[in-house]
């Protein structure tokens, strides 16, 4: 299990709806409103090999502008097996 602290930036008009949705999402263990309108801070828990997909899932929600990583820990996996299960590396296609 990986645990990530994330910053979710939203449209100011949809921040409350996104907060409500995050607060009932099974992958989110905590969610807080930041002092800046439209910004939410949350704790995301998922299997390490699913973390990237979870970021993409949250980023695709209506009203979400971005999902940014604040911290990421794999402590339990390292203690249990000494290795982190990560998805295979994929080349990112970026335009110039």
Average pLDDT over residues 50-79: 87
| pTM recorded for the entire structure | 0.77
Token representation of residue 32: 């807080």
pLDDT of residue 6: 97
Strand order across the 28-33 sheet? 28-33, 39-46, 2-10, 64-73
Average pLDDT over residues 59-69: 96
How far apart are the C-alpha atoms of 54 and 47, rounded to whole Å? 10
Average pLDDT over residues 4-24: 96
Average pLDDT over residues 25-52: 93
Tokens 């439209």 -> residue:
38
Pairwise pLDDT comparison (60 vs 50), residue with the higher score: 60
Q: Angle at CA 32, nearest 5°, toward 43 and 71?
A: 35
């Amino acid at each position: 299990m990986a645990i990530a602290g994330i910053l979710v930036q939203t449209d100011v008009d949809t921040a409350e709806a996104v907060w409500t949705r995050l607060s009932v999402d099974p992958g989110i263990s905590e969610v807080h409103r930041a002092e800046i309108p439209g910004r939410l801070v949350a704790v995301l828990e998922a299997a390490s090999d699913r973390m990237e997909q979870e970021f993409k899932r949250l980023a695709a929600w209506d009203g979400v502008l971005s999902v940014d990583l604040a911290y990421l820990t794999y402590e339990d996996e390292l203690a249990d097996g000494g290795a982190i299960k990560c998805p295979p590396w994929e080349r990112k296609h970026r335009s110039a």
